[in-house]
Amino acid sequence: MLLLLTLSAMILDSTAISRQCEQVPSLKFSVSSWRNESGHRLVAADVQSDESGRNGVSLMVELLSEKCDGTRAVILRTLSSIEWPEEEASTSTAVARTVVPLPGYRNFPGMGYYKLLPNDMTWREAVEACRKEGTRMLLVESREEIETLLEWTGCCPWVGVRREFSSGPWVNVLGQQMNSTDFFGWYPGEPSGPSNCMALNGFPMGTANRECDHSFHVICEQSL
Residue 174 has pLDDT above 90, yes or no: yes
Q: What are phi and psi of 89, to 5 degrees?
A: -90, 160
Does residue 134 sit in the same domain as residue 198? Answer: yes
User: Do the bridges between strand 171-172 and strand 158-162 make them parallel or antiparallel, or are there none, so unpaired?
Assistant: antiparallel
Percent of the chain whose predicted confidence (pLDDT) is above 70: 55
Give a yes or no: residue 96 inside a domain: no
Q: What is the pLDDT of residue 223?
A: 78
Domain that includes residue 177, residue range = 106-222
∠152-153-157 over CA atoms, to 5°?
135
Does residue 83 sit in the same domain as residue 12? Answer: yes
Does residue 121 sit in the same domain as residue 216? Answer: yes
Q: Provide the whole-model pTM.
A: 0.59
Q: What is the pLDDT of residue 32?
A: 60
**Which is more confidently placed, 77 or 123?**
123
Q: What is the pLDDT of residue 42?
A: 60
Does residue 118 sit in the same domain as residue 216? Answer: yes
Does residue 65 sit in the same domain as residue 166? Answer: no
What is the mean pLDDT of the segment spanning 188-202?
93
Give a yes or no: residue 146 inside a domain: yes
What is the mean pLDDT of the segment spanning 196-203?
92
Q: What is the CATH number of the domain that holds 128?
A: 3.10.100.10
Do 215 and 121 form a contact (C-beta atoms < 8 A)? Answer: yes
